[in-house]
Amino acid sequence: MIKLVVGLGNPGQKYAKTRHNAGFLLLDELICTGDAVFSPQSRFFGELAEMKVGERKLYLLKPTTFMNRSGRSVSAVMKYYKIQMEEVLVVHDELDFELGVLKLKLGGGHGGHNGLRDIIAATGSKGFLRLRVGIGRPQGSRAIADYVLSDFSRLDFELLVSKFASFLVLMPLLLAGNVESAMHELHSQ
């Protein structure tokens, strides 16, 4: 049963619509489905929202520590609300998937993603659910760092947001602990 959804990204308007902020962008779409709002929480090193999905309470977290230090924020929320690692879903950008491809994965390594690396280091566990949001790879010889920190084009942004809708309808399954069913539904789309 998922109790905490963490969107990975970098804080500030400069990064708001960058590829690296795919996690923040999905949380922005998720919060629009309810009546919650994000509020800065210094004790959690991030912005936190609490919303209801059906009868279940769900916490949404946007760490404001920058991507590479997200673990501090995640572990602070987990400790305060007594959330276990298997109750956490981390949403992050994925270079290895084409734009808009969404895949759920349970556990595993960081795959070179510094946000995941820091969460694993801070919590001492790899046993969390991830939603990997495809952003594609840069064309030609463009540096990966430059690519992930660049804004989506308007069309790419609209495509990504439209793909988020197919995931958001699966949230009740995840909140009820039906991870396998949610994976099957998402991966067969």
Provide DSSP, the chain: ---EEEE----SGGGTTBGGGHHHHHHHHHHTTSS---EEEGGGTEEEEEEEETTEEEEEEEESS-GGGHHHHHHHHHHHHT--GGGEEEEEEETTS-TT-EEEEES---TT-HHHHHHHHHHS---SEEEEEE----STT--HHHHHTSBPPHHHHHHHHHHHHHHHTTHHHHHTT-HHHHHHHHHT-
Q: Is 184 assigned a catalytic role?
A: no
Q: Which of 20, 110, 113, 184 is catalytic?
A: 20
> Which residues belong to the active site?
20
